[in-house]
Amino acid sequence: MQVNGLPSASSGTHRLRRILISVCALVILGYVLYPPLSLLPKANLIGYSICHQIPERSFHLGGHQLPLCARCTGTYIGVALGFTAIALLRRWRTGEMLHTGMVLIMVCFIGAMAVDGTNSYLTLFGTFPHLYTPHNWLRAATGSLNGIALSMIVFPVFNFTLRKRTQPTPPLRNVWELVALLAVDAAAIALVQSEPAWLLYPMAILTTAGVLWMLTLVNTMILLLVFHQDSQAESRRDIVLPLLCGLVVTLVELTAMGTIRYMVTGTLGWPLAA
């Protein structure tokens, strides 16, 4: 619609939206097409940006080290299971925080990873006392509890920040839903601990996709708040642009972190060999 021969504000908004979506798509395509092109090296590059990747503290499947260490692998298994549970329970629009008792359990989950992580870190210094001998399965298990907690805490906040109307229910309603989730989590950790070769690609994809997803959610929230666009999305179409912008910021962050690490340590070729 035009007024006095001038384009309406709505028309200008739609044009700007299309431009931003196109720019985001080009940035994402550029990241995908930039070397390395092979799946595992690309996943390793993402892992290199955020994880120490110490071989002794990582799982090896089919003779290949996973892109993330055991603790980070567990964390993003937990993230994936948490969001899968939200999807299966049809609570994608959840905008209510967990009940107090459940929040305390999630805090305990995060605390368990912190305790195990501190204990594990102390073993890097041979003379430092520590509580127990760390194991990769324990790193993964406590990491997965942390990942479940993150998914259940972050997603309602994300929805509240993004959407104009949310579902008035928490992501988990009762302890039985949590028990079922933990049972699946235990099975997943046991499977990874057995290190079957066929699990290499699925686990590499799952965990690095989890990194991108969580960082995208956080960056999307930050962008919405900074540009005063929070709590405005009413349809799926309204969600696309904020998430694309959040993903672009995430890719820029990962590239910057990986580059800085390489400049400081010089331990990895750039780009990675395919």
| E-only strand ranges, the chain | 2-3, 6-7, 60-61, 64-65
For the record, the structure tokens of 238 come out as 């309204």
Q: What is the pTM of this model?
A: 0.90
Give the chain's mean pLDDT.
Answer: 91
pLDDT of residue 268: 56
Alpha carbons 145 and 153: distance in angstroms, whole number: 12
Give residue-wise pLDDT tens across range 229-270: 999 999 989 999 999 999 999 999 999 999 998 888 876 554
Preceding omega of 271 cis (within 30 degrees of 0): yes
Give residue-wise pLDDT tens across range 13-34: 888 889 999 999 999 999 999 9
Give residue-wise pLDDT tens across range 164-192: 999 999 999 999 999 999 999 999 999 99
pLDDT for residue 196 is more than 70: yes
Our CA dihedral for 261, 263, 264, 268, rounded to 10 degrees, sits at: 60
Alpha carbons 225 and 228: distance in angstroms, whole number: 5
Alpha carbons 185 and 86: distance in angstroms, whole number: 14
